[in-house]
Structure 1
Amino acid sequence: MIRPHQLLYGAGAALLVAHPALAQAAEASALAGTDTQRTLLWFVLSTLVLVLMVFLLLFVALVAWMRPQLRKLYDLPTVHDTWSGQVLGLLVGDARLVQGEVRDELLDHNYDGIHEFDNDLPPWWKYGFYATIVFAISYVTYYHVLKTGQLQGAEYAAEMQQAALLIAATPDDPNQLTTYQPLLVPAELSSGKSIFATNCAPCHGASGEGKVGPNLTDEFWLHGGEVNHVYKTIKFGVNGKGMVAWKGKLSGKQILQVASYVLSLQGTKPANAKPPQGEKEAPAKAVAKL
C-alpha cells in the first residue's frame, strides 16, 4: 500500500528531475517570444516606410500633373505675395520662401570701388537663427532655472555609479579595495625588488627616485600610499597617466611583493630624487627594509 507521504516524496522527486527541463523550455519560449516581437517590429516599420514612400510618390505625381493649374493660381496678384502663395511657389519652382528676394540695390557708399548690395538675409538663415534662440532659452530654463535635467558632471557621476553597481564585487573589481597587509619577510621583499627593477625602474628609477613616473620614496602620493592603494594602482594602472595595468602580467602575489617593496623605500632619500607630487600622507605602518 502506498502511503500519502510516499506520494508526496515521489511527486517532489519528479519535480526536481523535471525542473531543468522546465527551465530550459521556459527560456526557449522566452527567446522565441523575443524573436517574434523583433520580427513583428521590423515588419511594422518596413510597412510604414513603404506606405510613406507610396504617398510621397503619389503627391509628387499629383503636383506634376496639376502644375499648370497651380502656376496660374500662383500668378494671381492676390495670391503671389502672400505667405501661402510663397508656399505654393515651392511647388511650382519659385523658392522665394526659402531663398528670399534678391533686390540687388546698391547702397550709396563704396570702399575702393567695392559696392555693397542691400539684400536681406535668406529666410532659411533667419529661421535657423530664431531656432537657436528658442533652443538656448529652453536649454537654460530646463537645465539651469528649473534644474530638471542633469548637467554633464552630474550625468557622468550617475553613470559611473550605475556602472559600479553592475560590476561584481570580486578581486578583479577595481572599485573594491583589498585588505592585504604589507609583506615583511626579506625574501618576499627581495622578490618584489627584482620585479621592480625589471618592470618599474624604467619609469620610477632604480631606487624609486622617479623619472617619468613619480618619486616613490617620499610621503607624497597621487593615488594613495597605503599598501592596498599601491596594490590597486599597480594592478589596474591609471588611465591617461602612463601607468599601465599589470593585471594579467603579474600574479596577485607578485603585485603584493612589489607594493610591499615600494613601501620599504619610504624615507630612503636617493640622489636626484624627483620633487614631490600628490598629497602628503602619514607614514604607513612600519615595514621591513632590505
Structure 2
Amino acid sequence: MRLVATLLRGPGALLALTLVARPGLAQAANTAAPAGPAATGTQQLLLWFLLGTLALVILLIGLLTATLVVRLRPQLRRLYELPTVRPTWSGRVLGLAVGDTTLVRGEVRDEVLDHDYDGILEFDNDLPPWWKYGFYATIVFALGYLSYYHLSGTGQLQGAEYAAEMQQAALLVSADADDPNQLTAYAALTTAGDLSSGKSLFTTNCAPCHGVNAEGKVGPNLTDEYWLHGGEINHVYKTIKFGVQGKGMVAWKGKLSGKQILQVSSYVLSLQGSKPAGAKEPQGEKEAPAKPVARL
C-alpha cells in the first residue's frame, strides 16, 4: 500500500494512471470509430433540410409578391400611366405587372412602308426585345468562346479533349496481353515454316469467309492495299485476336495461340499484291505495306 501511495504522490503517478486508463481509452476509441458514416449522414440531412427551407422561403416570397401585385394593381396602373415612368426601363418592367407586354414583344406600330411587292405590304415594327437581347448574348458568348478556346488556348478543343479522355480511360484498363487497347510490337514472320503453318491455319479457319486465296467472300479481300482495321502486322494481329464486334469477325483468342495468330497474320500479309481470280472489290482505307514480306 505504501508503494502505491508513493507512486500516486510522486512523478510516477501520471504513468500509473495512464496504464490504468489505457484499456478504457482504447475501448472509447473503438466505440467512437463507427461514428464517421453517421456524422456524414447527419450532415447530408442537415444540408437537405436547409435547401428545403430555402426553397420554401423563396416560394413564400413569390406568393407574397404575386398577392401584392394583384391587390395593388390599380395603384400600379396609375403609376405606370405617368409620362415620366412609362418610357423608362423600370416602367416597362412595371408594365408587365399591369398587363403591358411591350417589354417582351416590342413596339408594334404597324406603320406601312412604301414597299409593295405584288400587293404584299411591309410593316415597320420593332424586333422583339427578347430576340434582340438573345442575339446580343450569342455575340458575347461567341467572343468569349473564341478567346477561351482559340486565342488564349486555355480550353481544350474537341480533338484534345478526346485524347485526354482516352488517356484517362486507358488508366482504367489492364495493360496485359489481353488488353485490346494495347498494340503489340511484333514483326512479320518470313520463314517458310511459319508461313506454311499460317497458310494451313488460314485454310482451315479463315477461308470460309475470306476465300481460299484470301480473295474475299463474306469477309473482305485481304490481298489488296485496302484495310478496314489497319494493314500493319500488329493491327492484323489485333483484328484476328480480338475480332470485330458487330461485323462478323470472330475473336480467335483462346482458339489459336499467340504464335499461331502471328503466323496467320504474317501469311495474310504475304498475299499482298497476289491478285487472285474473282477478287472482291476493295474496302476500307488504302495502306502501303510497311515492309516486303516473303512469300511461299
TM tier, smaller: 0.7 to 0.9
| Structure 1 residues 146 and 188, CA gap change in structure 2 (3 angstroms) | closer
Q: 1:263 aligns with which of 258, 261, 266?
A: 266
1:162 corresponding residue in structure 2: 168
Percentage identity across aligned positions?
57
1:283 corresponding residue in structure 2: 292
- For residues 93 and 61 of structure 2, the distance between their equivalents in structure 1, rounded to whole angstroms, comes to 20
Q: Which 10-residue stretch deviates more, 30-39 or 100-109?
A: 30-39
Aligned pairs (5 A) from 1:127-142: 127-142=133-148
2:114 corresponding residue in structure 1: 108
Q: Are 2:238 and 1:229 aligned?
A: no
1:246 corresponding residue in structure 2: 250
- For residues 218 and 80 of structure 1, the distance between their equivalents in structure 2, rounded to whole angstroms, comes to 79
- Could you say what the CA RMSD is over the residues aligned between the two structures, in angstroms? 3.4
TM-fit CA distance, 1:46: 3.3
| Structure 1 residues 102 and 192, CA gap change in structure 2 (3 angstroms) | same
Q: Deviations over 1:113-157 (max 9, x none)?
A: 211111111111111111111111111111111111111111111
- For residues 182 and 36 of structure 2, the distance between their equivalents in structure 1, rounded to whole angstroms, comes to 35
Code of the residue aligned with 1:261 in structure 2: it is: V
Q: 1:95 aligns with which of 72, 79, 101?
A: 101
SS of 1:280 mapped into structure 2:
coil
Q: Which 10-residue stretch deviates more, 155-164 or 258-267?
A: 258-267
Code of the residue aligned with 2:206 in structure 1: it is: F
Q: Is contact 2:215–2:278 with CA below 8 Å preserved after alignment?
A: yes
Q: Deviations over 1:140-185 (max 9, x none)?
A: 1111111111111111111111111221213331222346786839
Q: Is contact 2:104–2:129 with CA below 8 Å preserved after alignment?
A: yes
Code of the residue aligned with 1:46 in structure 2: it is: G
Code of the residue aligned with 1:264 in structure 2: it is: Y
Number of matched pairs: 255
TM-score normalised by the chain length of structure 2: 0.71
Q: Is contact 2:197–2:263 with CA below 8 Å preserved after alignment?
A: no
2:74 corresponding residue in structure 1: 68
Q: Deviations over 1:6-43 (max 9, x none)?
A: xxxxxxxxxxxxxxxx9xx98x8776666555555444
Structure number with greater Rg is 2
SS of 1:167 mapped into structure 2:
coil
SS of 1:129 mapped into structure 2:
helix
TM-fit CA distance, 1:254: 5.9
Note the residue ranges of structure 2 that are not aligned, 5 or more in a row: 1-29
Q: Are 2:170 and 1:197 aligned?
A: no
| Structure 1 residues 82 and 220, CA gap change in structure 2 (3 angstroms) | closer
TM-fit CA distance, 1:89: 0.5
Note the residue ranges of structure 1 that are not aligned, 5 or more in a row: 1-21
- For residues 69 and 138 of structure 2, the distance between their equivalents in structure 1, rounded to whole angstroms, comes to 33
- For residues 193 and 38 of structure 1, the distance between their equivalents in structure 2, rounded to whole angstroms, comes to 65
Q: 1:59 aligns with which of 65, 72, 83?
A: 65
1:123 corresponding residue in structure 2: 129
Q: Is contact 1:219–1:283 with CA below 8 Å preserved after alignment?
A: no
TM-score normalised by the chain length of structure 1: 0.73
Code of the residue aligned with 1:283 in structure 2: it is: P
| Structure 1 residues 37 and 191, CA gap change in structure 2 (3 angstroms) | farther
- For residues 188 and 31 of structure 1, the distance between their equivalents in structure 2, rounded to whole angstroms, comes to 60
Q: Deviations over 1:60-82 (max 9, x none)?
A: 12211221211111111111121
